[in-house]
Amino acid sequence: MSEEIVVGIDLGTTNSCVAVMIDSQVVVIPDEQGRRIQSSIVSFMEDGSLVIGNEAQRELVADPRNTIFSAKRFIGYPFDSKEARKLRAQLPYKVIKGEDQNSMIEIRGEAFALPEISALVLHRMKDLAEQYLGVEVNQAVITVPANFNDSQRQMTKLAGELAGLEVLRILNEPTAAALAYGYGKGLDAKLAIYDLGGGTFDMTVLQASGNVFEVKSTAGDTYLGGDDFDNRLTRVILIYLQNHYDFSIEKQPHLRGQIKHIAELVKKGLSVRDKFKLSQQIRLLEYPEPVELNLVMSRELFKKQCSDIIDRSFTICDEAFSRVPFDAKEIDDVILVGGSTRVPLVKSMVEDYFGKAPRTDIDPDEVVAVGAAIQGAMLGAPFSVEQLKHNPLLLDVTPVSIGIMTVQGICEVLIKKNTAVPCEESKVFTTTVDQQTVVKIQVFQGESRVANDNVKLGELELIGIRPAPRGEVKIEVIFEVDTDGLVSVKAKDLDTGLAHETRVKVSTGYSEENVSQMKERLDASGVGAVELTK
Amino acid sequence: MSQSSPANSTAHIALLHPDERQRTMLSSALSRTCASFTSGAQWSDIAKYPLRLGGIWLIFDEGTATEQAIEQIRKASEQAFWGILVIGQGNATTQQKLRGLGIDAYLPYPFDFNVLSQQIQSIGDKRAPISNYQVLPPQVAGGLDRVWARFDSLTYYQLLELNIDCSLEDIQSRFHQRSLMLHPDRHRRIKQSHPPVYERVNLIYKRVLEAYRILSDPLQRPLYDSALSLGSTRWDYKLEAQKASILKSSNQQETQLALAQALNWRNRGLLKPAYELMLSICQREPNNPDLKASIHGYQKLLELACREPEIDAVIQQQLAP
């Protein structure tokens, strides 16, 4: 069996990156202009064409209603959840309720599912790789935040499949970063990965022993990231504007996006200088001429506005360290991942927390894609004893607890958070009334004792049970988490030892019909009609 | 490419049936679906059957003779991939008893031929040696087959090939070694071509992970060790309950660990160190009523044990001429 080409894709909230391993060297694939990082933005133009990536950035201001960014933040949150509601309020594009509580994005009267948007970004990455390599690319490892739950992982996998990629692994971003950092170094070290992205934060503690990378503990928050800095700065700028001019923000929805864009510039400016002088012209509906925005922002002000956001990340670090037999100060290397770790305040606060300066020799924007490419090469490698012995190996854990609803809505945990994968746990179910032929089991994912506070993964039905007095039929249900962190359920009749028929309804999933519609629409959009240049 | 499933068309089947006419009838039906076939009225008729081939026994249940046959098969074949399927009209108690003897399945008579071949298939997938498939390197496959043969009776230490007094570093490094060979990522390419092999490797690896999870936990390891001396091989609900009760009796991690160690020593008959450890725990938390209550138990046990030699001496005196 020969080597297969497997690319690694970091599908980020704000930026994405694609890399591939060629002859034991990882190459980050540049776009036509030589840029190695692509914006995770998709803009739907008036003529029906699509602009994806860095070129779509200017559309954020020009056409905010039809330019989709940060779509990843919606993935896995039901439309009516408080997270999704909060997010909707901040975004200039229109989010509507789809089937099964899924959020959908309405663009020019057409509703798009979230995986479709991600698929477009992934397709762009696939095209870049194909142009660069001159061959077709059909297999990928795609990264997700460590604390993504089952449905978020499923949706990411679906996005990959829609983009025409066989997804060999859904890989946790911090784990990928650790692999990129430690690959080929023969380390024997405790690593901490501090991953502050645009929208999510993850802390992962990992043991590297030669070519084995074992995740010891992971914790995270899906609503903590660089966007929070931008929102704080946006607020500062808006308050400044409101103090100087009389206008209504409700009447001009594009304004928030525009100011957020400015806020981002301020944040980036403050990453290289102590003070940032802002001098911009802004159009307000209420004024015939553009108004002046002259403002000096300092790191001091940034610290005042944002240090509590960074402090929140350390509460999560504490949680991760509470599950390992050593503390933060015993870590050998701290690795920063995610664009938001470029912020000097983040760096210095991280240094205080660990009592040690974080590594600066790796690019936080590329490290995840590099790790994914290494993992991809490993999965694509031909089979041999040499391969078994010498290739790097990642040992990862379940990010979220899995349980079932029992009496009074209590969630009984079956597989605990931070259990090494693959793992399985079984439970015996029986009938509670005579002649019962169906048993229903509700499966949840989350840390709350109250089942309904957790994310419902789906409903499992044991059907066709042989009619008998109650309690006589015993069916063993096996819950399994595979190496992708995906959950599956099997049932076995304990009397016959044979597999029992089940029906699983995943509540946040898409029907086959839905998926084939998405596929058709993607094909029709003309994305991917790229000619190979080599 | 070797066979993807040695069961059914490539299975070796031995049939035991007391009734000759029935046997002939079944033989003609079954022999067409398997690689080799032999049959007889009782075990001694077919004992010469080349056991090293490995295969599945079909036994028609006829009471105690079945139990004897099972015992003989077990004795004659050291490797456990001899699957045993019993067919008969036994009630729930009989079935349970036979399961206790290690049969793979009990098929109620009369049976559907499709169900029978489904069962044979599933026993084959579960039991046939990985070496038979010729897909993994021989040394890897051989090791897996040896583990599989005693899978359910192996302790976590045996599974990792470690001594009970090994260090945490030993456990971690052995676990990493095993992972390099057994992790599903290493076997991705046989997932489609040889699903039963992939499944089995996965199953063994999951047990390795379980062993690692329990043995690398400072609270769970002494509890597991204590259960070992009572004959358990796996972490179970009883141990889970013990753990919960320890976690409840103190919120000091140090005390929790010491409690687990004391329990371990007690169960292994090391009553004196166990009692002394309990004493020191009680001194650390003098106001904890749970600890006070449990130390009484330790004291009683120790007293009883101390008195044993005295009693022995009294008895000996009385018996002396």
CATH number, domain with residue A263? 3.90.640.10
What's the CATH code of the domain at A113?
3.30.420.40
Do B32 and B93 sit in the same domain of this protein?
yes
CATH number for the domain that contains residue B84? 3.40.50.2300
Size of interface A-B (CB pairs under 8 A): 63
Q: What is the distance between the alpha carbons of residues A227 and A225, in angstroms, rounded to a whole number?
A: 5
Nearest CB to A393: which of B137, B179, B218? B179
Q: Is B35 on the interface with A (CB under 8 A)?
A: no
Domain span at residue A279 reads 226-304
Residue B179 lies in a domain: yes
Taking contacts as CB-CB distances below 8 angstroms, the residues of chain B near A209 are 172-173, 176
From chain A, the residues in CB contact with B179 under 8 A are 212, 393, 395
| A14 and A146 part of one domain | yes
Test the A interface: residue of B111, B126, B176, B213 with most A CBs within 10 Å: B176
Residue B123 placed within a domain: yes
Burial of A312 (0-12, 13-18, 19+ CB in 10 A): middle
Confirm or reject contact between B172 and chain A (CB < 8 A).
yes
Is position A385 within any domain?
A: yes
Please report, for the domain that includes residue A462, its CATH number: 2.60.34.10
Catalytic hit among A31, A63, A72, A417: A72
Which of B119, B181, B185 lies at the smallest CB-CB distance from A379?
A: B185
B198 and A CB contact within 8 Å: no
User: If we measure between CA atoms, which residue out of A164, A169, A154, A89 comes closest to residue A123?
Assistant: A164
Task: Tell me: do B212 and B292 sit in the same domain.
Answer: no
A408 within some domain: yes
- Same domain for A64 and A86, yes or no, is yes
Side-chain-side CA neighbours of residue A360 (13 Å): 9
CA of B179 vs chain A CAs: smallest distance (Å): 8
* Same domain assignment for residues B13 and B51: yes
Helix (H, G, I), strand (E, B) or coil at A195: strand
Segment holding A192, helix H or strand E: strand A188-196
Q: Which ipTM did the prediction report?
A: 0.84
Cβ atoms of B41 and B20 closer than 8 Å: yes
Q: Which among A211, A390, A395 is the top mutation candidate for probing chain B, defined by the most B β-carbons within 10 Å of its own β-carbon?
A: A395
Q: A277: which strand partners?
A: A296
Is A195 assigned a catalytic role?
yes
Q: What is the DSSP string of A306-330?
A: HHHHHHHHHHHHHHHHTTSSS-GGG
Question: Inter-chain contact B185–A394, Cβ cutoff 8 Å?
Answer: yes
B94 contacts chain A (CB < 8 A): no
Q: Are residues A139 and A19 in the same domain?
A: yes
B234 touches chain A (CB under 8 A): no
- Residue (of B136, B137, B178) closest to B154 by Cα position: B178
Distances in Å between the Cα of A173 and the Cα atoms of A144, A187, A220, A289, A400 are 6, 20, 12, 46, 15
Residue B181 distance to chain A (closest CA, Å): 6
Q: What pLDDT does residue B11 have?
A: 66
Inter-chain CB proximity B179 and A385 less than 8 Å? no
Residue A4 phi/psi, 5-degree rounding, is: -110, 150
DSSP codes of every residue in A18-65: EEEEETTEEEEPP-TTS-S-EE--EEE-TTS-EEESGGGGGHHHH-GG
Q: Is residue B34 a contact partner of residue B11, using CB atoms and an 8 Å limit?
A: yes
Cross-chain Cβ contact A422/B189 below 8 Å: no
Last residue of one domain, picked from the residues B102, B128, B154: B128
CA-nearest residue to B121 within chain A is A498
Domain boundary among A266, A286, A304: A304
Chain position carrying tokens 């020009």: A62
| Distance (Å, whole) CA A230 – CA A228 | 5
Active site (annotated) includes residue A10: yes
**Identity of the residue in A212, A419, A483 whose CB atom sits nearest the CB atom of B184:** A483
Pair (B16, B116) in one structural domain: yes
**Annotation says A459 is catalytic:** no
Residue with tokens 């249940």: B61
Give the domain extent around B179. 131-216
- Among B113, B128, B143, where does a domain finish? B128
Asked if residue B93 and residue B195 are part of one domain, the reply reads no
- Domain annotation covers residue B223: no
Choose, out of A207, A374, A496, the residue to mutate when testing the contact with B (most B CBs < 10 Å).
A496
- For A2, the closest chain B residue by CA position comes to B189
**In this structure, what token pair is assigned to residue A21?**
């391993």
Rounded CA-CA distance A508/A77 in Å is 9
Pairing of strands A94-97, A103-107: antiparallel
CB-based contact (8 Å) between B209 and chain A? yes
- Locate the chain B residue with the closest alpha carbon to A384: B137
Do residues A252 and A113 share a domain?
A: no
What are the DSSP calls for A125-167, one per residue?
HHHHHHHHHSS---EEEEEE-TT--HHHHHHHHHHHHHTT-EE
Residues of B in contact with A419 (CB under 8 A): 213
In contact, A159 and A118? CB cutoff 8 Å? yes
Residues B110 and B16 occupy one common structural domain = yes
The enclosing H or E element of A110 equals strand A110-113
Per the domain annotation, does A474 fall within a domain? yes
Cis before A422? omega within 30: yes
A163 found inside a domain: yes
How many residues make up chain A in this entry? 534
Nearest C-alpha neighbor of A43 from the set A28, A61, A26? A61
∠ CA B125-A492-A405, nearest 5°, is 140
Beta-carbon contacts of B56 under 8 Å, excluding residues fewer than 6 positions away, are: B7, B11, B12, B13, B14, B82, B83, B84, B85, B120, B123, B124, B127
DSSP string, B189-246: THHHH-HHHHHHHHHHHHHHHHHHHHHTSTTHHHHHHHHHTTT--S--HHHHHHHHHH
Chain A closest-CA separation from residue B185 CA (Å): 6
Assigned domain for B251 exists = yes
**Within a domain: residue B231?**
no
Q: What is the CATH number of the domain that holds B185?
A: 1.10.287
Smallest Cβ–Cβ distance between B206 and the set A209, A378, A422 belongs to A422
Residue B122 in contact with partner chain A when CB distance is under 8 A: yes
8 A C-beta contact, residue A331 and residue A357:
no
Regarding whether A243 and A259 lie in a shared domain, the answer is: yes
Q: Are B221 and B214 within 8 A, CB to CB?
A: yes
Task: Assess whether A30 and A143 both reside in one domain.
Answer: yes
Q: Are residues B211 and B106 in the same domain?
A: no
CB-CB neighbours of B171 under 10 Å: 20
* Residues A98 and A243 both lie in one domain: no
> Could you tell me if B63 and B13 lie in one domain?
yes
Tell me: cis bond preceding B110? Omega within 30 of 0 counts. Answer: yes
Question: What residue ranges of chain A have pLDDT lower than 50?
Answer: 1, 528-534
Q: Are residues A414 and A492 in the same domain?
A: yes
Cβ-defined contact of B186 to A420 (cutoff 8 Å): no
Q: Could you give the 3-state DSSP secondary structure of residue A305? A: helix
Q: Which chain A residues touch B if contact means CB-CB below 8 Å?
A: 1, 168-169, 207, 209-212, 214, 325, 378-379, 383-385, 387-389, 393-395, 419-420, 422-424, 482-483, 496-498
Evaluate whether residue A315 is within a structural domain: no
Cβ atoms of A108 and A68 closer than 8 Å: no
DSSP string, B6-23: -SGGG-EEEEE-S-HHHH
User: Of A195, A228, A230, A493, which one is the catalytic site residue?
Assistant: A195
Residues B196 and B185 in one domain: yes
Check CB contact of B267 with chain A, cutoff 8 Å: no
Q: Which residue do the tokens 């109620």 mark?
A: B108
Q: Which residues of B touch A378 (CB under 8 A)?
A: 185
Sheet-wide strand order for A42-44: A50-52, A42-44, A67-68
Q: Spell out which residues of chain B touch residue A498, defining contact as CB-CB under 8 Å.
A: 118-119, 122
Q: Are residues A377 and A427 in the same domain?
A: no
In a domain, B234, yes or no: no
Does B150 reside within a domain? yes
Assigned domain for A343 exists:
no
In a domain, B228, yes or no: no
Q: What's the domain count of chain B? A: 3
Chain-chain contact of B185 with A419 (C-beta, under 8 angstroms):
no
| Per-residue pLDDT at B78 | 57
CB contact under 8 A, B179 and A424: no
Please report the pLDDT score of residue A349 as a whole number: 97
SS3 B66: helix
Chain A hits for B206, Cβ within 8 Å:
422-424
Number of domains making up chain A: 3
Within 8 A of B104 by CB-CB distance, chain A residues are: 497
Say whether A379 and B205 touch across the interface (CB within 8 A): no
Give dist(CA A349, CA A194) in Å, integer. 12
Last residue of a domain, one of B75, B100, B128: B128
Tokens representing residue B226 in the block:
């204590």
Is there a contact between A480 and A457 (Cβ–Cβ < 8 Å)?
Answer: no
Same-domain pairing of B267 and B308: yes
How far is the C-alpha of A171 from the C-alpha of A277, rounded, in Å? 41
The answer to whether residues B179 and B205 belong to one domain is yes
Whether B185 and A420 lie within 8 Å, measured CB to CB: no
Tell me if residue A474 is catalytic. no
Q: Indicate whether A44 and A173 sit together in one domain.
A: yes
Q: Tell me how far apart the alpha carbons of residues A464 and A502 are, in angstroms, rounded to a whole number.
A: 9
Give the closest of A1, A378, A498 to B185, CB-based.
A378
B180 touches chain A (CB under 8 A): yes
How many CB atoms are located within 10 Å of the residue B169 CB? Answer: 9
Inside any domain, residue A428? yes
Three-state DSSP class for residue A207: strand
In this structure, are A179 and A233 located in the same domain?
A: no
321 residues of chain B, pLDDT tens digit each: 333 343 444 567 788 888 888 888 888 877 776 777 788 887 777 666 555 556 777 888 877 778 887 887 777 665 545 788 888 888 878 888 888 888 888 888 888 888 888 888 888 888 888 887 888 888 889 999 889 888 989 999 999 999 999 999 999 999 999 999 999 998 888 888 888 899 999 999 999 999 999 999 999 999 999 999 888 999 998 999 999 999 998 888 889 999 999 999 988 888 888 998 998 888 888 888 888 888 888 888 888 877 776 666 666 776 665
Residue of A173, A202, A264, A396 with catalytic role: A173
Q: Are residues B124 and B137 in the same domain?
A: no
Which residue spans within chain B are E strands per DSSP? 12-16, 36-40, 56-60, 83-88, 105-108
Provide the shortest C-alpha distance from residue B126 to chain A (in Å). Answer: 12
Alpha carbon A127 to its chain centroid, in Å, reads: 21
- The minimal CB distance from A389 to the residues B180, B187, B210 is found for B180
Same domain, A126 and A253: no
pLDDT at site A526: 65
